[in-house]
Amino acid sequence: MTQPVSDERQVANDIVEENARAIGQLVGLLEALPGNLYRQCFGHRKQHVIGKHVRHIIDHYSALLSATASPGALLDYENRNRDLSLETDRRAGGSRLSDILRELRDRFGAEYASELAMLHNSDGQRQVVTTSVERELVFLASHTIHHMAIIGMLAEQAGVEVDAEFGVHPSTLRYLQRQTSGLAISA
């Protein structure tokens, strides 16, 4: 399905803004977290760390930005940078997320090539698949919100108050709003 260019740009802007809301919520939580909580290990095996989830989110956005920075580059989510400083320094993590947000708006708020090739490793077989910037932005929004739900749960376990909408997908928020509106009408 081909859309007029102005519609494609609006769709991309809307998807970028969905990512921006999630990133903004995450940056806000990071600003409120004590630094030691960002590095604290949770769980029986001590493998759950807020900073690791933040770094993982950053790596995925960085992969998309890197792939769209030069024509012909492949998007590769598997071979990520994994900068350990982003796992241990919440200010560095928050700063990089803010930079990513600016880059997303700058890059996809203007003219850009939508088609994208992605390297996918399935059972050890590396394959190139066709995707689009818009599809990957949709994926990144869901991926980010999924990890934010885990981050929120870890923060709450440590006694940090987390906003009720943190880590909740916009589709779920819309559903809940419809449910509340329906109850108000029937009451």
**pLDDT score recorded for residue 92:** 97
User: Which CATH number characterizes residue 36's domain?
Assistant: 1.20.120.450
Is 119 within 8 Å of 76 (Cβ atoms)?
yes
**pLDDT score recorded for residue 3:** 54
**pLDDT score recorded for residue 136:** 98
The structure's pTM equals 0.90
**pLDDT score recorded for residue 8:** 74
**pLDDT score recorded for residue 187:** 47
**Degrees to nearest 5, angle at CA 121 with 118 and 126:** 80
**pLDDT score recorded for residue 1:** 53
- Whole-angstrom Cα distance, residue 66 to residue 72? 11
Beta partners for 137?
none
CA 144 to chain centre: 3
Tell me which residues of the chain have a pLDDT lower than 50: 187
**pLDDT score recorded for residue 117:** 96
Q: How many domains does the chain have?
A: 1
- Whole-angstrom Cα distance, residue 103 to residue 61? 10
3-class DSSP state of 44:
coil
**pLDDT score recorded for residue 41:** 94
Q: Domain containing 62: what range? A: 5-186
Is 156 within 8 Å of 162 (Cβ atoms)?
yes
